[in-house]
Amino acid sequence: MSSVDTKRAAPQRHRIAVLLFGFAALLLCIVLSLALGARSVAPGTVVEALFGGGQGRDAMVITGMRLPRTLVGLAVGAALGLAGAVVQGITRNPLASPTTLGINAGAGFAVVTAIYALHLTRPVEYVWFAFAGAAAAALFSLALGRRAGDLDPIRLVLGGTVLHLVLVSWTSSVLLFSERTLDEARFWLAGSIAERNLNVLTPMLPTLVIGAVVGFAIAPALNTLALGDDSAQALGMPVARIRLAGMVAVVLLAGSAVAVAGPIAFIGLAAPHMVRLVLGNDNRLLIPGCLIAGPLLLLSADIVGRLVARPSEVEVGIVTAFLGAPLLAILARRKEVR
């Protein structure tokens, strides 16, 4: 093997090792998610319960409550991580996230309005309202971001941020005038995967899969888009179509995640940055890496929320917001981000 081939093989081995390490960390996080909570369970009991050999209360808690919760966390974390990577790619803004496009606020406003007007009481009843609100907010941000027929990434982010502020204000107004709606919606608005079962997740699986496929498909084009619109167009890339496809992926991924678990912040922002630190800026590696980083961050935050206030727990959306604020400040001060 020549020296050039050796130099090329070394980074490849490093990336594979990083992905394997991340996957092992995610497996450990899954085991901890099944074992820890208000009542801790031994790892051996977890294995017995998963393979049908366990009986008793611990086995019922694992298979009936913690396993569905963990599966929901895996799906939601992966969706938010992928959505964050795609939206940062199409806007060329490392501080962009699904929240920036007003997706979380759109879903929240739709759910609160549905609870207020239709007297809904269960997540499975308003999950489609959340998805519709997220999609409508993203489409409105898309309309605000268009200039002379093309999608302007700066206008897109600014329009989404303004929309987010407006929708949050409207949502707060509805909650202020209806105590019943506040009591019903505040748990979902906090962002949580507790008490979420597969009946809530299953309807969203097709949209999650389609969004992930679109995100993987445009990953090479996002590398070209990072060179700038003029350079990308000179290389023959249809910039407007790629951005539109990216927006579709973000709507499907983030909309589904928010519909299932509520508006969980900072996962979509933090996961891509965590992957970039170890794998670089290549979207062909960044997007697959977010499939690991997103669930890892979400399940870790969920475990922290279970342990800090036992026997009660803190919703995962509150934990991610508490930990994500310092992260945002650090990222904003980095030279590479500026």
CATH of the domain at 221: 1.10.3470.10
Domain-embedded: residue 200:
yes
Please give the angle made by the CA atoms of 263, 117 and 252, to the nearest 5 degrees: 35
Per-residue model confidence (pLDDT) at position 27? 93
Domain-embedded: residue 45:
yes
Nearest to 162 by CA among 113, 108, 106: 106
Residues 6+ apart with CB under 8 A from 57: none
Domain-embedded: residue 5:
no
Domain-embedded: residue 120:
yes
Domain-embedded: residue 4:
no
Q: Residue 21 CB: number of other CB atoms within 10 A?
A: 12
Distances (CA, A) of 301 to 110, 218, 290, 306, 322: 26, 30, 16, 9, 10
Domain-embedded: residue 7:
no
Per-residue model confidence (pLDDT) at position 4? 43
Per-residue model confidence (pLDDT) at position 29? 94
> How far is residue 140 CA from its own chain's centroid?
20
Per-residue model confidence (pLDDT) at position 150? 67
Domain-embedded: residue 56:
yes
Per-residue model confidence (pLDDT) at position 106? 92
Per-residue model confidence (pLDDT) at position 3? 46
Say which residue the tokens 């179509």 belong to.
Answer: 241
Residue numbers of the domain that contains 268: 14-333
Q: Round the CA-based radius of gyration of the chain to a whole number and report it.
A: 21
Token pair, residue 248, equals 């579709």
Residues of the chain with pLDDT under 50: 1-7, 338
Per-residue model confidence (pLDDT) at position 5? 47
Per-residue model confidence (pLDDT) at position 338? 47
Instruction: Give the count of domains, the chain.
Output: 1
Q: What predicted TM-score, i.e. pTM, was given to this entire model?
A: 0.89
Domain-embedded: residue 3:
no
Please state whether the peptide bond connecting residue 311 to the residue before it is cis, i.e. omega within 30 degrees of 0: yes
Number of residues written out for the chain: 338
Residues 6+ apart with CB under 8 A from 10: none
One-letter amino acid at 61 equals V
